[in-house]
Amino acid sequence: MDQQKKHWIESFAKVGYIAKGVVYFLVGILTAMAALGLGGEKASNSDAFMQVKELPGGGFLLSLLAVGLVGYSLWRFTQAIKDTEHKGTNAKGTGKRIAYAFSGLLYASLAFLAFKIGTGNGGGSVGSSKEQTLVAELLEKPFGKWLAIAIGLMTIGNGIYQITKGVTASFMKDVSGLPRDKFDVLKKAGQAGYISRGVVFGIIGFLFVRAAWLQRPKVAEGTEGAFSFLQTSPFGNILLAVVAIGLMGYGIFMFVQAKYSDISID
């Protein structure tokens, strides 16, 4: 790969981290405000995009955000195909690279959603979430129930992995050159973010497994459903506020990664 292409991909990756950080920060702050009774609402990604659209020049801002998310998607595909982190081709390495590719697809779809909302062609209410649609489609197939349960368990596993990264702060190896006076604060923001993200993934996975086991697709939920699950638990508003603030921390750490990550392509 020539140097110009490398430069473009590395630039897209940094812009992508910023766009991802904006999304998480918006979802977090809107949900925290709702939990604390300060307005706002339990927010999904589409809700966050709708908030951006309501700003002056919102359509243009969403277009920029969509470009950034495309950049992040491109970086994930590059990690999967070029093996930029040298994961290798053994079972563990291949699994990690497949996860990168899946993340690339996810953020590509998020970029498409941002573009649709920005151009006025999306964001309306829908009858079912993508999780509900996926469970319903799987349940119609042979062994679909067990495949859906497997997907839910993998989502729970990803949640546990995110929590482990947060507790051990292993994510700090991905950044270098942080200012000493800001190191501890940014580390804590990242820890809160990864743990909160893991909690949300874990709940989404649990709801997915429950929907598949009961063969009731309508009980599958995404991020907003995970927030509702937290809110209806004991001390629900407090738990929801803590997790939402943690997601804001994750957004902040994505900005840190944009600036300090060693993004390179061999």
* DSSP secondary structure code for residue 55 in this structure: S
What pTM was computed for the model?
Answer: 0.86
- Rounded CA-CA distance 44/225 in Å is 9
In the structure, what pLDDT confidence band is assigned to residue 265 with cuts at 50, 70 and 90?
low
**What's the mean pLDDT in 208-229?**
90
**What's the mean pLDDT in 178-183?**
86
Q: Measuring CA to CA, which residue among 133, 142, 171, 180 is closest to residue 250?
A: 171
Q: How confident is the model at residue 127, as a pLDDT?
A: 47
Q: Measuring CA to CA, which residue among 185, 199, 202 is closest to residue 241?
A: 199
pLDDT in tens, 46-83: 888 888 888 888 888 888 899 999 988 988 888 888 88
Per-position DSSP letters for 86-153, written without gaps between them? ---SSHHHHHHHHHHHHHHHHHHHHHHHHHHHHTTS-----SS-HHHHHHHHHHTSTTHHHHHHHHHH
Mean of per-residue pLDDT scores for the chain = 87
C-beta separation of 247 from 28 below 8 A: yes
In the structure, what pLDDT confidence band is assigned to residue 154 with cuts at 50, 70 and 90?
very high
Bridge partners of residue 261, in order along the sequence: 175
- Rounded CA-CA distance 156/104 in Å is 19
Is the pLDDT score of 4 beyond 70? no
Bridge partners of residue 175, in order along the sequence: 261
Buried b (16+ CB within 10 A) or exposed e, 135-169: bbebbeeeebbeebbebbeebbebbeebbebbeee
In the structure, what pLDDT confidence band is assigned to residue 177 with cuts at 50, 70 and 90?
confident
In the structure, what pLDDT confidence band is assigned to residue 39 with cuts at 50, 70 and 90?
confident
Is the pLDDT score of 239 beyond 90? yes
Per-position DSSP letters for 187-229, written without gaps between them? HHHHHHHHHHHHHHHHHHHHHHHHHHHHT-GGG---HHHHHHH
**What's the mean pLDDT in 188-214?**
95
In the structure, what pLDDT confidence band is assigned to residue 170 with cuts at 50, 70 and 90?
very high
